[in-house]
């Protein structure tokens, strides 16, 4: 990963967060505040994601659930929750409306089994979010607004192919957002089931 960013960014801390995929939430927020905003057009494409564990209640859910990332077709057509099919050669989109966000679920391979079983009920071909320029933490940046959930994912640029995302969910502390990274992945050949 080529980190091509301004000198004001604490590169050592950023590299530590990216390599460890975990860190203190205050460090993640500090890095977010130092990075540049991105445009709606910048976000177009398919993005593979991973979380930055900070102690948030959602930490540990994405990998065992089979989460792949997000797909931004246009500002009006966004697939916010994209998952691997069992064979990992296909991707499918999930309707966020059908996923409870505030229930306790096992954060292990059982979650992946549950997602596979639930696929017929949660899969969708329809868009589940939109992209808008929204101000968050003092800067307007490309933000994914879920259609059916009070959630905004705000993105800032790490480099030309990587963004840091912070989830702003109604009811969560603004000082403790869920953190994740998206890496552009337009070259991998997946069958898209949406």
Give the angle subtended at the CA of 55 by the CAs of 50 and 56, to the nearest 5°. 70
Q: Per the domain annotation, does 121 fall within a domain?
A: yes
Res 103: pLDDT: 61
Q: Which structural domain, as residue segments, surrounds residue 182?
A: 11-187
- Report whether 46 contacts 54 (CB < 8 A): no
* CA-CA-CA-CA dihedral for 70, 99, 123, 156, to nearest 10: -10
Question: Total structural domains in the chain?
Answer: 1
Q: Per the domain annotation, does 2 fall within a domain?
A: no
pLDDT in tens, the chain (194 residues): 545 444 478 999 999 999 999 999 999 999 999 999 999 999 999 999 999 999 998 888 888 888 999 999 999 999 999 999 888 889 999 999 887 766 666 666 777 777 777 888 888 999 999 999 999 999 999 999 999 999 999 999 999 999 999 999 998 888 899 999 999 998 888 888 88
**pTM, 2 dp:** 0.90
Q: Per the domain annotation, does 3 fall within a domain?
A: no
Q: Per the domain annotation, does 147 fall within a domain?
A: yes
Give the angle subtended at the CA of 44 by the CAs of 134 and 92, to the nearest 5°. 105
**DSSP letters spanning 72-138:** EEETTEEEEEEEE-TTSSEEEEE-GGGS-SSS---SSHHHHHHHHHHHHHHEESS--EEEEEEEETT
Q: Per the domain annotation, does 83 fall within a domain?
A: yes
Q: Per the domain annotation, does 65 fall within a domain?
A: yes
Contact partners, residue 144, CB within 8 Å, separation at least 6:
43, 70, 72, 78, 80, 129, 130, 131, 152, 153, 155
Res 51: pLDDT: 96
The CATH number that applies at residue 16 is: 2.40.128.580
């Amino acid at each position: 990963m080529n980190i091509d960013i301004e000198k004001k960014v604490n590169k050592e801390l950023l590299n530590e967060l990216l390599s460890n995929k975990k860190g203190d939430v205050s460090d993640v927020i500090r890095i977010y505040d130092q990075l540049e905003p991105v445009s709606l057009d910048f976000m177009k494409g398919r993005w593979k994601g991973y979380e930055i564990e900070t102690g948030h209640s959602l930490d540990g859910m994405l990998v065992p659930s089979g989460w792949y990332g997000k797909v931004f077709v246009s500002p009006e057509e966004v697939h916010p929750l994209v998952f691997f099919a069992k064979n990992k050669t296909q991707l499918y989109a999930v309707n966020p409306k059908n996923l409870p966000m505030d229930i306790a679920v096992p954060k292990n391979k059982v979650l992946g089994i549950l997602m596979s079983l639930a696929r017929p009920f949660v899969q969708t071909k329809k868009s589940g979010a939109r992209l808008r320029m929204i101000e968050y933490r003092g800067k307007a940046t490309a933000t994914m607004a879920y259609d059916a959930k009070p959630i905004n994912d705000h993105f800032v640029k790490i480099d030309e192919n990587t963004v840091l995302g912070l989830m702003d969910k109604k009811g969560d502390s603004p000082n403790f957002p869920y953190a994740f990274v998206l890496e552009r992945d337009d070259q991998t050949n997946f069958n898209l089931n949406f």
